[in-house]
Amino acid sequence: MKRMKTRVRVLRKISDIPKVKGFKPYGKDLKKSDEAPINLLYEEYEAIRLSDYNLLNHHQASLMMCVSRPTFTRIYASALQKIAKAFIEGRPITIDGGKVYFDTDWFYCKKCNCYFNHLEKENIHCPLCNNKEVDECEQIDIEKDMNQNTEFTPHRGNGRRHGRKHREQDN
């Protein structure tokens, strides 16, 4: 029996990098426990920020993250469950990970012709070829560049494009 391939998970766009890496509970009744912290993914942080802090509805927030509304609702529900668990059990929260790319400055590698974004403003290098000769881009026309067979890598990606259309073009 053939196993079906799992669906490729779409990258979620994060507009605002968290200002903290997590939260830690405190209090005199809090005992030191060996329980691991609750990990809130960047996409879950972004869902809380857009929906509860910026007061966007789920449709508006899903458009900001470049995901469908049902997907946004699942991400948001997961974030709420994790936060509730951390509050009730008195566990720390860390904010890290997830399949995301950050809506930051974009750069172009002169050696391998790929586009990428980078969170740090210093020591910028291409994630594919490690070249330090890169240019900052003002505006990227992604569709135009994909049609010219240049690599497009959202946040340190591997340059692979997904979907039937691209698989046929790449072969």
Co-location of 73 and 39 in the same domain: yes
Residue 73: CATH number of its domain: 1.10.10
Co-location of 20 and 81 in the same domain: yes
Final residue of a structural domain among 50, 67, 100:
100
What's the pLDDT at 29?
67
Q: How many domains does the chain have?
A: 2
Closest CA to 10 of 57, 58, 59, 72: 72
Residue 163 has pLDDT above 60, yes or no: no
| 83-142 per-position pLDDT tens digit | 999 999 989 999 998 888 777 777 888 888 887 776 666 788 888 888 888 888 765 444
Q: What is the pTM of this model?
A: 0.63
Residue 26 has pLDDT above 50, yes or no: yes
Co-location of 87 and 39 in the same domain: yes
Co-location of 69 and 92 in the same domain: yes
Co-location of 37 and 114 in the same domain: no
Co-location of 74 and 144 in the same domain: no
Co-location of 72 and 120 in the same domain: no
What's the pLDDT at 120?
67
Rounded to 5°, angle at Cα 138 from 132 and 141:
100
Residue 54 vs residues 17, 21, 36: alpha-carbon distances, Å: 14, 20, 30
| 31-90 per-position pLDDT tens digit | 665 678 999 999 999 999 999 999 999 999 999 999 999 999 999 999 999 999 999 998
Contact 77, 69 (CB under 8 A): no
Co-location of 17 and 77 in the same domain: yes
The count of other CB atoms within 10 Å of the CB of residue 117 is 20
As a whole number of angstroms, the distance between CA 24 and CA 43 comes to: 20
Query: Containing domain of residue 66, as a range?
Result: 12-100
